[in-house]
Amino acid sequence: MRLTCPFCGSRGLEEFTYRGDALVRRPAADTSLQTDAQAWTDYVYLRDNPAGLHSELWYHGVGCRSWLVVTRDTRTHRVDDVRAASAVAAERSGGAA
């Protein structure tokens, strides 16, 4: 398996560190552990863990040190898309990077 970093090109897997599901969302900072513990439990522990397309975070530590959002099929390890996490975040918030 190789990942095509948008900044460095196609690189071997050993250059990257995996950081799990890219779709989990940290609850807002003022979410109370007393009144909404479930939101924190969901965020810290629960995962969809799909067999199929998975959106996930990788860190290119041996290259450009960018955080990347990779779309990959967990059944075949086929990589469909690699984007800079900053670009994905900017798109989600509707503003510029």
Partner 1 sequence: MPTDRYSLFSLLREGLRGNTGWKAAWRKAAPAPAYDYVIVGGGGHGLATAYYLARRYGGLRIAVVEKGWIGGGNVGRNTTIVRSNYLLPGNEPFYECSMKLWEGLEQDINYNAMVSQRGVLNLFHNDAQRNAYIRRGNGMRLHGVDAELLDATAVREKLPFLNFDDARFPIRGGLLQPRGGTVRHDAVAWGYARAADRLGVDIIENCEVTGIRIERGRAVGVETSRGFVGAGKVGLACAGNSSRVAAMAGLRLPIESHVLQAFVSEGLKPFIDCVVTFGAGHFYISQSDKGGLVFGGDIDGYNSYAQRGNLPVIEDVCEGGMALMPRIGRVRLLRHWGGLMDMSMDGSPIIDRTPVDGLYLNAGWCYGGFKATPASGLCFAHLLARDEPHPVATAYRLDRFARGAVIDEKGMGAQPNLH
Residues that bind partner 1 (CB under 8 A): 1, 12-14, 18, 20-21, 37-38, 41-42, 44-51, 54, 56, 72, 74-77
Least Cβ distance, residue 76 to partner 1 (angstroms): 6
Closest by alpha carbon to 13, among 60, 50, 48, 57? 60
Q: Which is nearer to partner 1, 32 or 47 (CB)?
A: 47
Q: Which is nearer to partner 1, 44 or 97 (CB)?
A: 44
Burial 48-83 (b: 16+ CB within 10 A, else e): eeeeeebbbbbbbeebeebbbbbebeeeeeeeeebe
Q: Which is nearer to partner 1, 15 or 64 (CB)?
A: 15
